[in-house]
Structure 1
Amino acid sequence: MNEKIEQLSKILRDSNNIVFFGGAGISTSSGIPDFRSSNGLYSKKLNRNFTPEQAVSHTFFIRYPEEFFDFYKENLVYPNAKPNDCHIALAKLEEMGKLKAVVTQNIDGLHQAAGSKVVYELHGSVLRNYCMKCHTFYDAGYILEQKGVPHCVKCDGVIKPDVVLYEEGLDDKVISGAIEAIERADTLIIGGTSLVVYPAAGLINYFKGQNLVLINKSATSADSKADLVINDDIAKIMKEAIEGIY
């Protein structure tokens, strides 16, 4: 494994336009599990079981808002989570002028908390919430404090997290920015994702650079295309690779 970390350090040293594309595995070291690992939701009121994907769908949010927010607050919002070694390593790479963008499927805001400035949040963020009527902004703390469905103090409208739910489309500006960054990159590092969630996973097809690096605990569908594959904990790998640059 040391040899692979040295190889990654060399790639980081020689690259001047790195883009990082990450998924849920980035935040597990910060104590945030992939919401799909939950057992879903059993609603006594509806006498039904719902899968995690159903519980965070647009249809569920509209039809069963109370159950939606019960699941959402318990499984998707982690106010005490802190950036881990991967988030910190990426912020350092950006500070050095090497990393040009982070493209993330995560909604926890930990890349920005670590200091990253250019972050394309494909699926939005739990830190932003807006009234569906008057668009007043609310932070995650307000949502967590409310019992049941959170309502706007100005107009009593329902507040919706700025998170892309199942059945909703991704933001065009965010997608365009992510594609542009990936197209310009000389190195693309993909980490903490099994590359099964589309359309996000399809973004790697825009990469035309020199080094494709995949860091994930398990194999992915893109392993055969990669110049370097590391199956290990990404927080540990990125920390060691950054230390090897100097």
Structure 2
Amino acid sequence: MIMNKIGKLREIIKNSNYIVFFGGAGVSTESNIPDFRSEEGLYSAREVYNHSPEEMLSISFFNNHTETFYRYYREYILHPEAQPNDAHKTLAMLEKEGILKAVITQNIDGLHQKAGSREVLELHGSVERNYCSSCHKKFGLEYITDSIGVPKCNRCGKLVRPDVVLYGEGLETEVIDKSIHYIENADTLIVGGTSLVVYPAAGLIRYFKGKNLVLINKSGTPFDARADLVINESIGKVLKKAVENTFQTNL
């Protein structure tokens, strides 16, 4: 049954000219980055910090408890050792083939770029980018991991913050508009590793008007009934098998 579905996905990919991928946390869990909402993931920190992840990753908590924010952020959010998995690598390969036009991701880990993807729209920002809240000097991830306590700008001495969208902050209009443009023009939209319950990001799927809506997730989603193909399996395993022996570019 699963191989039949993967075979169908293979045919969809081969016959598509404009694929867009929309991904969530399930893409990165296969690189050993914890899922936000699982008890084994970020919620396990509640016993240590007595706050939920939503609280600790909010703009108000960042402003009022900056030192605690960074302690939690370094311990639970940053995973500099993580490497791209088969999902990241397959998507980068499809982009090189000219079939995949963009990756739209809810993840902030930068693994799509590390795998070689170029057109990556990060709805929630990236831990790889940081900037001074005063003079706006930019810093990489290592500046945060190598610092102690609250990171300060080495030019003006003010607070450095991650370029991620915290709870209580809005998504970047430019990123949203660009994502909508890609989805509206796609003939195939592959959605993977997301339960499609977090808005406004999940609402982007409503802009798809193409032929093939493919959902790949270990559990069901509210959009399953609208999809042309639903595969409840590992996103990395499915994508890798779907393109094996089909394209010249190696993973």
C-alpha distance in 2 between matches for 1:40 and 1:164: 20
Equivalent residues in 2 for 1:226-241, closer than 5 Å: 226-241=227-242
1:55 partner amino acid: M
Note if 1:193 corresponds to 2:194: yes
Residues 204-213 or 142-151, more deviating: 142-151
After TM superposition, what 4+ stretches of structure 1 lie above 4 angstroms from structure 2? none
Which residue in 2 is equivalent to 1:29?
30
Note if 1:110 corresponds to 2:116: no
Decide whether the 8 Å contact of 1:12 with 1:245 is kept in 2.
no
What do residues 18-43 of structure 1 show as CA deviations (whole Å, max 9, x unaligned)?
00000000011111112333223457
C-alpha distance in 2 between matches for 1:42 and 1:153: 34
Which residue in 2 is equivalent to 1:40?
45
Equivalent residues in 2 for 1:84-163, closer than 5 Å: 84-163=85-164
C-alpha distance in 2 between matches for 1:138 and 1:147: 15
C-alpha distance in 2 between matches for 1:208 and 1:183: 6
Q: Give 1:245 deviation, angstroms.
A: 3.0
Compared CA separation, residues 41 and 134, structure 1 to 2 (3 A): farther
C-alpha distance in 1 between matches for 2:29 and 2:245: 24
Decide whether the 8 Å contact of 1:29 with 1:84 is kept in 2.
yes
Which residue in 1 is equivalent to 2:17?
16
Question: How much identity, in percent, do the aligned residues show?
Answer: 57
Decide whether the 8 Å contact of 1:19 with 1:181 is kept in 2.
yes
Which residue in 1 is equivalent to 2:55?
54
C-alpha distance in 1 between matches for 2:66 and 2:119: 33
Q: Structure 1: state its 5+ residue gaps.
A: none
Q: Give 1:145 deviation, angstroms.
A: 1.3
C-alpha distance in 1 between matches for 2:36 and 2:198: 13
Provide the secondary structure at the position in 1 that maps to 2:118: coil
C-alpha distance in 1 between matches for 2:233 and 2:124: 25
Q: Structure 2: state its 5+ residue gaps.
A: none
Count residues with an aligned counterpart. Answer: 242
Provide the secondary structure at the position in 1 that maps to 2:148: coil
Provide the alpha-carbon RMSD of the alignment.
1.1
Instruction: Report the TM-score when normalising by structure 2.
Output: 0.94
C-alpha distance in 2 between matches for 1:186 and 1:109: 26
Decide whether the 8 Å contact of 1:9 with 1:244 is kept in 2.
no
What do residues 66-117 of structure 1 show as CA deviations (whole Å, max 9, x unaligned)?
1111111111111111110000000111111100000000001111111111
Which residue in 1 is equivalent to 2:215?
214
Q: Give 1:212 deviation, angstroms.
A: 0.2
C-alpha distance in 1 between matches for 2:165 and 2:78: 14
C-alpha distance in 2 between matches for 1:140 and 1:4: 39
Provide the secondary structure at the position in 2 that maps to 1:74: helix
1:158 partner amino acid: L
Q: Give 1:244 deviation, angstroms.
A: 5.2
Q: Give 1:154 deviation, angstroms.
A: 1.0
